[in-house]
Amino acid sequence: MSFTTPRRSRALTATLLALVLSTGTACAGDESGPSASGSIKIGLLASLSGTYQAVGKDIRDGFELYLATHDGKLGGRQVDLVVADEGNGAQTAVPAATKLLKQDRVVALTGIVGGGSVAGVYPLLNETKVPLVGSNGRPELKDVSRVWHTSYLSDEPGAAIAQHVRDNVKGSVYAIGPDYQGGWDELRGFTDAFAKIDGKLANPDGKTTFTPFPATTNFTPYFARIKASGAQAVYTFYAGSAAVDFVKQYAQSEIKDIPLYAAGFLTEGGVLNAQGEAARDIFSVLNYSPDLDNAENRAFVAAWKAKHDGSPTTYALASYDAAAVLDRAIAAAGSDPTPEAINTAIGQLGQIASPRGTWQFSTTTHSPVQKWYLRQVRQDGRALSNTVVGDLATIGR
């Protein structure tokens, strides 16, 4: 050997350290412009780099689509949209939000992909008294007086589909999901509601199986356990590349004939393209589907397809709706739309017409009271797409 062992191990330690330190580095892009008279400054924070960039870009594009189809105005005022990069989490989101809130002095903040980022930015909102109209992640928060979400609470998809699964599956259901806060919430939503209506889980210990996240890339060992459990259906939640791995391996596994039910993110957006044929027939629950039949949705989908490949996702929709909320709130805030006035106006919006169908903010959680849809992955022209096959519960509290 041409080198000594201690030197080797030292180098390896250093490289492993470098590896650990480097995950979660991203830089914030900023492009603020001077505020024209009569214009209004809105800050959009979303993951434009890192693990969640596909979602982040949908959120940016959804908001920009609303502006583009409304002459660049919200509430009759020209909008100066300041976009900043959230990166992988709070570590990068907080400095970016600080810049938006304190340097650019935006009147409202929107976007934010990760629940952890929202929790990190939350103290800044209280300090600067600027409202957040979030369009995705929603952590547990004590006081939501300045926080609004156009998306959903993480336990709602599971709660919305539980009754349907109970009615349509003759036998026990295996619950499996990723081992992190989002996974716990999504699966708890299902298992709690399912238990209430006397549904039986097939998991050996009666509890959800959680897989290490994001380390799990091979689900075969879990499929073997599902097979052994005698389950008649599987309920799951995965997103991003874990969703691709799960669905592709499921379709080739020995449990491929067991019906798969999931929170809609399993087959939403780009992951569906990567899954391809493997995703066919999967049932999922979500608050939106691009084939919903209403005037708002037809206009939204047409405008989206004119600019982008493929159909809009629920992420883009939530951000589009965040713009719609701000549009009406700024108009209602009067001649001087201060952050405080906009926040008050959001609370008085009532019903909001949207491509997902009409919804409104819950007075207690400030997240939508909305209808959830049952979708199935089916052939739509040349591509596979999530097709609405029925309405599920209207949920919100």
Partner 1 sequence: MIAVAAGANRIDPYIIPALDGVAYGLLVFVAAAGLVFCFGVANILNLAHGTLYAIGGYTAAALLDGGWLSLALALAVGVLAAAAAGVLLAGLLTPVATGNHLTQALLTFGVALAGGSLLVAGFGPDDPQVRVPAALDGSVVVAGHRYAAYRLVFIVVAAVIATALYLTVRRTRAGMLVRAAVDDPEMVACMGVSPGRIRAGVLAAAGALAGAAGVLGAPIIGPGADTADTVLLLSLVVVVLGGLGSMAGTLLAALAIGEIQTLGVALLPSAAPFLLFAAMAAVLAARARGLATSWRAT
In the complex, the residues that contact partner 1 under the rule CB under 8 A are 1-3, 5, 7-8, 10-12, 14-16, 18-19, 22-23, 50-51, 53-54, 57, 179, 204, 209, 211-212, 214-218, 220-225, 227-230, 240-241, 244-245, 248-249, 252-254, 256, 269-271, 273-277
Cα–Cα nearest to 286, from 374, 209, 172: 374
CB of 202 to partner 1, least distance (A): 9
Nearer to partner 1 (CB atom), residue 3 or residue 295: 3
Cα–Cα nearest to 55, from 265, 366, 201, 290: 265
Cα–Cα nearest to 251, from 221, 220, 285, 230: 220
CB of 24 to partner 1, least distance (A): 12
CB of 23 to partner 1, least distance (A): 7
| Token digits of residue 122 | 């939350």
Alpha helices in 153-279 (DSSP H): 156-168, 181-196, 220-229, 240-251, 270-275
CA 173, 174, 177, 180 torsion-angle sign: positive
- State the DSSP H helix or E strand holding residue 327, giving kind and residue range, or none if neither: helix 314-332
Type of residue at 78? Q
Give 148's strand partners: 133
Nearer to partner 1 (CB atom), residue 271 or residue 342: 271
Nearer to partner 1 (CB atom), residue 223 or residue 261: 223
CB of 183 to partner 1, least distance (A): 13
CB of 1 to partner 1, least distance (A): 7
Nearer to partner 1 (CB atom), residue 218 or residue 351: 218
Burial (0-12, 13-18, 19+ Cβ within 10 Å), 98:
middle
CB of 270 to partner 1, least distance (A): 3
CB of 95 to partner 1, least distance (A): 20
User: Is cis: bond before 337, omega within 30 of 0?
Assistant: no
Nearer to partner 1 (CB atom), residue 126 or residue 220: 220
CB of 221 to partner 1, least distance (A): 4
Q: What is each CA distance from 346 to 82, 94, 324, 332, in whole angstroms? A: 21, 24, 11, 9
Nearer to partner 1 (CB atom), residue 70 or residue 248: 248
User: What is the number of other CB atoms lying within 10 angstroms of the CB of residue 31?
Assistant: 8
Type of residue at 107? V
Nearer to partner 1 (CB atom), residue 34 or residue 381: 381
Nearer to partner 1 (CB atom), residue 7 or residue 142: 7
